[in-house]
Amino acid sequence: MINRRFFRKIKNGAFLALSLVATLTGLACLAAILWTLISHGVAGLSWHLFAEMTPPPGSRGGLLNAIYGSAVMTLLGILIGSPIGVLAGTYLAEYGRRSTLSVLIRFINDVLLSAPSIIIGLFIYEIVVVKMGHFSALAGALSLAVLAIPVTLRTTEDMLNLVPPGMKDASAALGAYPWRTIVSVLYPAARSGIVTGLLLAIARISGETAPLLFTALNNQFWSTQLNAPMANLPVVIFQFALSPYKEWQDLAWAGALIITASILMLSIAARVILAMLQAERGSDQ
């Protein structure tokens, strides 16, 4: 009997220790990646990065055109994708809450949320690049928009569902049509939640590489034309990191540091907003 109890205790301790090891492994991976980025990337950080164009092989330069291109395409992607996501989320949460169509759309949206982004790139290549006959920043922005829709849709629906039903009833009792209630009562009440969704969507699409490879392609020069190929950070990092030139590799590391730092900051900001929202909700009750 004593033996058996001892064995159970040992087994318990062993498995709990293993779960601690697993957690430390996960944290170590994050730390290792961040440390690599900082140690390789900091050396390349200078004002040249933000003032000069991507250089030809073997010479020094910056990432200005790539940073500009990434900003433009991410912004356009959000401007096109998020209104669709917010409206669709509104439909699922309000108009069609329990309809069969909503169940189907919710399901398909969750599938799209985890679908490989390279497939979306191929889709936009087929319907935009092939039709236009050339690669373009617009095609890149569209593929990012398609990736932003599922993220904003999901958070909008969840956040609208969190608004206390009493507010909706009060608005309806005043004789407001549903659209009035949604625009004047529900959206303001769910505002910080919807903003969180937007931040998460920006974080998600600004690091995407695969869908840009054959939509926006890349451009070594400064270009503001939406109708032409445009440089962007992820594809420049991909191209420069795999090149044999030291200058290009250094730029790739600096670019990787910039992009990761901005994405992690966006993700943390989104979480802080969400935590504040929850605290606010908690104090109301």
Partner 1 sequence: MAIIDPGHAAKQLVYERIFRAATLAAALLVLLILGGVAVSLFRGAWPALRHFGFAFVTREIWNPVTDEFGALAPIYGTVVTSLIAMALAVPTAFGIALFLTEICPPLLKRPIGVAVELLAAVPSIIFGIWGLFVLAPVLQRHVQPWLIHHAHHVPVLGQLFKGPPFGIGIFTAGLVLAIMVLPFIAATMRDVFDTVPPMLKESGYGLGATRWEVIWNVVVPHSRVGVVGGIMLGLGRALGETMAVTFVIGNAHRISTSLLAPGTTISSAIANEFTEAVGDLYTSSLIALGLLLFLITFTVIAAAQAMLRRLERRTEQ
What secondary structure does DSSP assign to 2-60, as a single string?
HHHHHHHHHHHHHHHHHHHHHHHHHHHHHHHHHHHHHHHHGGG-SHHHHHSPPPPTTS-
Q: Pick the closer one to partner 1 by CB: 72 or 160.
A: 160
Binding to partner 1 (CB under 8 A): which residues in 110-149? 110-112, 114-120, 122-123, 125-127, 146, 149
| Site membership for partner 1, residue 241 (CB under 8 A) | yes
Q: Exactly one of 162, 183, 276, 279 binds partner 1 (CB under 8 A); which one?
A: 183
Q: Pick the closer one to partner 1 by CB: 76 or 233.
A: 233
Least CB distance from residue 174 to partner 1, whole Å?
12
Least CB distance from residue 155 to partner 1, whole Å?
14
Q: Exactly one of 60, 180, 191, 281 binds partner 1 (CB under 8 A); which one?
A: 180
Is the separation of the CB atoms in 86 and 195 below 8 Å? Answer: no
Binding to partner 1 (CB under 8 A): which residues in 48-67? none
Is the separation of the CB atoms in 227 and 138 below 8 Å? Answer: yes
The two tokens of residue 143 are 């593929």
Q: Exactly one of 6, 50, 177, 222 binds partner 1 (CB under 8 A); which one?
A: 177
Binding mask 186-225 for partner 1 (x = CB under 8 A): -----------------x---xxxx--xx--x--------
Least CB distance from residue 65 to partner 1, whole Å?
18
Is the separation of the CB atoms in 150 and 113 below 8 Å? Answer: yes
| Site membership for partner 1, residue 170 (CB under 8 A) | no
Report how far residue 98's alpha carbon sits from residue 160's, in angstroms, rounded to the nearest whole number. 15
| Site membership for partner 1, residue 27 (CB under 8 A) | yes
| Site membership for partner 1, residue 29 (CB under 8 A) | yes
Is the separation of the CB atoms in 69 and 216 below 8 Å? Answer: yes
Report how far residue 25's alpha carbon sits from residue 1's, in angstroms, rounded to the nearest whole number. 36
Closest by CA to 117, choosing from 75, 149, 152, 86, is 149
Least CB distance from residue 99 to partner 1, whole Å?
10
| Site membership for partner 1, residue 178 (CB under 8 A) | yes
Least CB distance from residue 204 to partner 1, whole Å?
8
- Backbone angles phi and psi of 234, in degrees to 5: -60, -45
| Site membership for partner 1, residue 101 (CB under 8 A) | yes
Residue 283 contacts by C-beta under 8 Å, 6 or more apart in sequence? none
Least CB distance from residue 152 to partner 1, whole Å?
10
Residue 193 contacts by C-beta under 8 Å, 6 or more apart in sequence? 155, 156, 158, 159, 162, 274, 277
